[in-house]
Amino acid sequence: MADTAVLRANNVEFWAQAAPGWVHQADRHDRLGRPLGAAAMDWLRPQPGERVLDAGCGCGGTTAEIAAVVGPDGAAVGVDLAEAMIDAARRRFPRDRHPGIRFVAADIETMDLAPGAPFDAAYSRMTMMLLADPIAGAATIRRSLRPGGRFAATAFRDASAAPWLAAVLLGAAPHVGPLPPLPLGDEPGPFAFADPARITRVFAAAGFDRVRIQPYDVTMDAPDDPEAVAEWLIELGPAGGAYRNMPPAGQAAARAGAARLLERYRQPGFGYRLPAGHWLITAIRTE
């Protein structure tokens, strides 16, 4: 596996290329992707007046959800590596309409404390497995919590628990340009946290206590619109950058290829049911 500095540099480059797709799909992903983080949000149960960190906030939808709960007497701070996503989050959720909200472009792995610390709680939806050094990222989150602060995150299990991810990539890949190398082993990627023993090691090494890992199976329901669903999933995946660089005919072929392999998740007239097996990871900073 490449060393951490190389993995961090690769992450910066990858997310700079991926960000436009996430920005383009932000509204749709806020609606359709909510089940991916619902278990963590339900466990965390932010309360009015609390200060909450959203690690890997993307385009800000989850941070805005938290801000609506904690209210004007609380704070919701979203941190993400991708500056373009943070810029989009600020446009989508301006502070004059969302009191207490704040967005920061930064690498959670390399900072001492997250801006706005100390926090009562921290949340992360499908981000921790994407870090070059998840121990460093988790340690920053722990340091940023007050004693007694709680943390909840979600991460995909293995590839068999979300098989549509591979279907989208295999369907689109023949019609787009070169793709970034797929992750190996523990390298940052959707299934880097497949092994719960690794998750336990990561959070224990970061100093967390009462680490608990639970499997959750949810389904993302999407409308019966093959082109829109295919584009949503392509743009959020590893083929997104190459897809956006293709001419319209190449993009149409990529959507058709992905839609063909996604057909088994489609119920005509109803829509798509996309299974998503993931872990709910919870932990406490006890001191």
* 164-172 helix and 226-235 helix, angle to the nearest 10 degrees: 90
C-alpha span between 24 and 228 (Å, rounded): 12
Alpha carbons 128 and 227: distance in angstroms, whole number: 30
| Residue 185: predicted pLDDT | 81
* 180: pLDDT strictly greater than 90: no
Q: Is residue 187 predicted with pLDDT exceeding 70?
A: yes
| Mean pLDDT score, 86-95 | 98
Within a domain: 228 = no
Report the pLDDT value the prediction gives residue 181, as an integer from 0 to 100: 84
Q: Count H helices and E strands in the chain, helices first.
A: 11, 8
Of the pLDDT bands very low, low, confident and very high (cuts 50, 70, 90), residue 285 is: very high
Handedness of CA 285, 11, 177, 245 (dihedral sign): positive
Predicted pLDDT at 182: 82
* In a domain? residue 258: no
pLDDT digits (tens, 9 = 90+) for 236-257: 999 999 999 999 999 999 999 9
Q: In this structure, what CATH number is given to the domain that contains residue 198?
A: 3.40.50.150
pLDDT band at 31 (very low <50, low <70, confident <90, very high): very high
Structure tokens at 68: 């609506």
pLDDT at residue 234 above 60? yes
Supply the mean pLDDT for the chain. Answer: 96
User: 79: which 2 tokens?
Assistant: 């941190």
User: How large a percentage of the chain has pLDDT more than 70?
Assistant: 99
pLDDT at 177: 85
- Return phi, psi of residue 52, to 5°: -130, 135
Domain count, the chain: 1
| 180 located within any domain | no
Residue at 250 is within a domain: no
The range of the structural domain enclosing residue 107 comes to 4-157+185-219+274-284
Question: Averaged over 130-152, what is the pLDDT?
Answer: 98
Q: What angle do CA 231, 279, 255 make, to 5 degrees?
A: 10
Does residue 20 belong to any structural domain of this protein? yes
- H helices of the chain, where? 4-24, 26-32, 35-44, 61-70, 83-92, 134-144, 164-172, 196-205, 226-235, 240-244, 248-262
Task: Check: pTM over 0.85? Answer yes or no.
Answer: yes
Residue 107 lies in a domain: yes
Q: Which two tokens stand for residue 217?
A: 């199976």
Return the pLDDT at 155: 98
Alpha carbon separation from 125 to 81, 137, 230, 244, 286 (Å, rounded) = 14, 14, 22, 25, 22
d(CA 239, CA 254): 10
Q: How far apart are CA 284 and CA 287, in angstroms?
A: 9
Q: Which tens digit of pLDDT belongs to each residue from 201-229?
A: 999 999 999 999 999 999 999 999 999 99
Contact criterion met (CB below 8 Å) for 1 and 122: no
What would the pLDDT profile of 59-84 be if each residue is shown by its tens digit?
Answer: 999 999 999 999 999 999 999 999 99
Mean pLDDT calculated for residue range 159-166: 95
The Cα 81–Cα 147 span in angstroms is: 26
Q: Is position 177 within any domain?
A: no
Mean pLDDT of 117-141: 98
Answer yes or no: is 278 within a domain: yes
Q: Which long-range contacts (CB under 8 A, 24 or more apart) does 47-51 make?
A: 47/74, 47/120, 48/73, 48/74, 49/73, 49/74, 50/74, 50/120, 50/121, 51/75, 51/77, 51/116, 51/118, 51/119, 51/120, 51/121
Q: Is the pLDDT of residue 1 over 70?
A: no
